[in-house]
C-alpha cells in the first residue's frame, strides 16, 4: 500500500484493533496492555511482524468474561498496581 492508499484506509471499517485503539477504548496506557501480555493477562492477540493486533470479537469476549466474574474490578486493580493474585 502506498502512502496515498494508506491515508484513504478507514480504521473504523475493520474488526481489528490496534494496541493504541484498545488502550483508548479501555482508558488505559498501551504500556499496561504490554505488561498484561507479558504476564499472560488480557484478551487474545495477534502478532504480525512486531505489531500487536486484537480482534474485536476477542476483546468483546474478554470484556464479557470480566463483567461476569465477581471481583473482576479488584483483579484489574491488582494488575494495574503490579500485584499478582
What residue spans define the domains of the chain? Answer: 12-81
Across the range 63-85, mean pLDDT stands at 70
Of the listed ranges 2-11, 20-29, 57-66, 74-83, the least confidently predicted one is 2-11
Tell me what the mean pLDDT of segment 44-71 comes to: 88
Q: Bridge-partner residues for 52, per DSSP?
A: 47
Most confident of 8-22, 44-58, 59-73: 44-58
Residue position matching grid coordinates 463483567: 67
| pLDDT reading at 48 higher than 80 | yes
Instruction: Return the half-sphere exposure (C-beta side, CA atoms, 13 A cut-off) of residue 22.
Output: 27
Tally the C-alpha atoms within 13 A of residue 18's C-alpha that lie toward its C-beta: 8
Q: How far apart are CA 68 and CA 50, in angstroms?
A: 32
Amino acid at each position: 500500500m502506498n502512502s496515498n492508499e494508506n491515508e484513504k484506509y478507514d480504521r473504523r471499517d475493520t474488526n481489528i484493533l490496534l494496541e493504541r485503539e484498545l488502550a483508548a477504548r479501555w482508558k488505559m496506557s498501551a504500556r499496561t496492555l504490554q505488561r498484561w501480555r507479558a504476564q499472560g493477562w488480557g484478551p487474545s492477540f495477534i502478532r504480525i511482524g512486531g505489531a500487536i493486533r486484537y480482534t474485536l470479537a476477542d476483546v468483546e469476549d474478554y470484556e464479557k468474561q470480566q463483567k461476569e466474574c465477581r471481583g473482576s474490578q479488584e483483579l484489574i486493580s491488582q494488575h494495574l498496581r503490579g500485584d499478582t493474585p
